[in-house]
Amino acid sequence: MTSTSHPRDLRAELESLTTEAFRPELAGIDRMPTLDLARLMNGEDAGVAGAVAARLPEIAAAIDAVAERMARGGRLVYAGAGTAGRLGVLDASECPPTFNTDPSRVIGLIAGGPAAMVTSVEGAEDSRDLARADLEALAPSPDDTVVGVSASGRTPYAVGAVAYARESGCLTIGLACNSGSPLAAAAEHGIEIVTGPELLTGSTRLKAGTAQKLVLNMISTITMIRLGKTYGNLMVDVRASNDKLRARSRRIVALATGAGDEEIDRALTATDGEVKNAILTLLADVDGPTAARLLEESGGHLRAALEARP
């Protein structure tokens, strides 16, 4: 259903949120010199990492649960409105080029659809029904994870997405920037990163947005590490789709193996440019087909494939 709260009720609700609090001591910032404003804003941002650090146990528990399901073939779905929705779409869109994931494995849903990435879609964030419809189109399963993202923690679209996902048996995570949020309460894993009032009252694309970006980075990156998308701190599943990434692929193979340029070129040719496979051919002294088989048997984990080599 679409929210029908009276404007006065909604105003009172917003005024109770830490992220919406007015700071009278900052009422004159429009008169400050630019350098002083930059220092002030930078000082505000400096506290975000500490707010995230205070919730690391909850974040880690959620990541382990996500990785367990994705290892079984599940998907990671972000759902949010406005800035929160855009951050989810951004994180999802970066997984294929960074980790060579299928685009259908990490998905970003934003209230109002793709057009809402650049323009406001009136009323979309207030609709729980829209969230349900967007998720129904994905046919969610118990192996999937749905992460509702909302700075306020009360956005109907994000709360509705988590509520429907939980009904469908999905793992659910609620990421908010206020304590005691409906979003965190609706989710199996509630993560509340309290960053405090913003420099500009109501502009939660600032500290709250930064906090959400940091947590989404952790969820996707550490999950991919757990899925074997890296070897140590090397992105061995990088997709070489342009000259920069082809150069990066060669550098990663060199860092992992210590091999020379000619050896690296031969290994990448023998494995159709697959970095992980090329590393395995060099470190395990096997041919391309054998490397592919060992990686398949190890679930794509290069370290496990090395330990299982003949």
What digits encode the pLDDT tens for the residues 11-29? 556 556 676 666 778 888 8
Torsion of CA 287, 293, 297, 303, to 10 degrees: 30
Q: What is the pLDDT of residue 265?
A: 93
Phi, psi for residue 269 in degrees, rounded to 5: -65, -40
pLDDT exceeds 70 at position 214: yes
Q: What is the mean pLDDT of residues 239-261?
A: 89
The matching CATH number, chosen from 1.10.150.240, 3.40.50.300, 1.10.8.1080, 1.10.520.20, for 243-307 is 1.10.8.1080
Identify the bridge partners of residue 192 per DSSP, sorted by sequence position.
176
CA angle centred on 71, ends 103 and 128, rounded to 5°: 60
The model's confidence at residue 228, banded by pLDDT at 50, 70 and 90, is very high
Q: What is the pLDDT of residue 293?
A: 94
**What percent of the chain shows pLDDT beyond 70?**
91
Q: What is the pLDDT of residue 19?
A: 66
Q: Alpha-carbon distance 45 to 238, whole Å?
A: 31
Between the alpha carbon of residue 94 and those of residues 97, 220, 222, the distances in Å are: 6, 10, 14
Q: Alpha-carbon distance 212 to 87, whole Å?
A: 8
**8-226 in CATH: which number?**
3.40.50.10490
Tens-digit pLDDT profile for residues 153-201: 999 999 999 999 999 999 999 999 999 999 999 999 999 999 988 888 8
Give yes or no on whether 8-226 and 243-307 have one common fold: no
Q: Alpha-carbon distance 231 to 213, whole Å?
A: 24
Radius of gyration of the chain (CA): 22
**Contact 194/177 with Cβ under 8 angstroms?**
yes
Which is nearest to 237 in space by CA: 277, 293, 280?
A: 277
Phi, psi for residue 198 in degrees, rounded to 5: -85, 160
The model's confidence at residue 37, banded by pLDDT at 50, 70 and 90, is very high
Q: What is the pLDDT of residue 13?
A: 61
pLDDT exceeds 60 at position 5: no
The model's confidence at residue 152, banded by pLDDT at 50, 70 and 90, is very high
Q: List, edge to edge, every strand of the sheet that includes 76-80.
A: 106-110, 76-80, 145-150, 171-176, 189-192
Domain range summary for the chain, segments of one domain joined by +: 8-226, 243-307
Q: Alpha-carbon distance 199 to 21, whole Å?
A: 10
Tens-digit pLDDT profile for residues 75-112: 999 999 999 999 999 999 999 988 989 999 999 999 99
Q: What is the pLDDT of residue 22?
A: 66
Catalytically active residues are: 94, 125
Between strands 106-110 and 145-150, the pairing is unpaired
